[in-house]
Structure 1
Amino acid sequence: MNCQRICRNPFEHKDSIMRIELDSADDIGPVVRASRKAQSIRQDDAAGSIGVSESFMGKVESGGETLQWGKLFQVLEGLGVRVILDVPDEVAGQLAAARQLHARRQSAKAARRPKAAGPEDR
């Protein structure tokens, strides 16, 4: 994989890192977004450098769950395996903002979904 520009780790020599436990595919989006923003990289530039579409990058950042993500976490959970990311402290501020934005978007998305008919509605 050729990642000379994006795969460099600007935080490589930092002494303090933050440990984050991921419980679901939704949890990774805010971390990815905060990490990108902490490096001052635009979403389209990051996508191009990594070799994915901007649409895919957006889906990752918004916590878009695909069958593969969901299945991966299902298997890991079933095996008692936790996914933990070590991220630099510089990402912490961006992460808090990204998580708030993600929570608002998820709430808005849930509010738009039609309610399933219950027994009393039939």
Structure 2
Amino acid sequence: MDLVVVVYLFIKIFAFARICPAGYNQAHSSMRSQGFSMEIDIRSASDIGIAVRAARKAQRLRQDDAAGSIGVSESFLGKLEKGAQSVQWGKLFQVLDGLGVRVIVDVPDEAGELFAGEEVKRYARVGRAEKRRRAREDADES
């Protein structure tokens, strides 16, 4: 079964007002005050690029300004928006976070149960590593 990645774009209120039909804004003012989200089915790198570009433009940010405030190069952001097939995962998530884009992976129930188990193991590993780090720091201070 294919995994479907769902991207929620949290678009600023002014963007919500620009894309909704006349009269819709008054009827849905509570939605507008909380922001607007939209699910987009992502099946390729170019789909992610389109979502990133839409999120940036909805915030009325120029590419160079967005890249600078997020902490990536304008070149990287441009490549990402064009759907580059190979990008650094860390920088990708940095851009998504910087633009308010949340990524959710929709997996079959069986995979979700396995994922939950792996998350518990990961948090335990992180906890043990943090405990070791604190012990080393305490030993260095002594």
TM-score range, shorter chain: 0.3 to 0.5
- TM-score of the aligned structures, taking structure 2 as reference length: 0.39
- Counting helix residues as a fraction of each chain, which structure ranks higher? 2
Larger Rg: 2
- TM-score of the aligned structures, taking structure 1 as reference length: 0.44
Higher RCO (CA 8 Å, separation ≥ 6 residues): 1
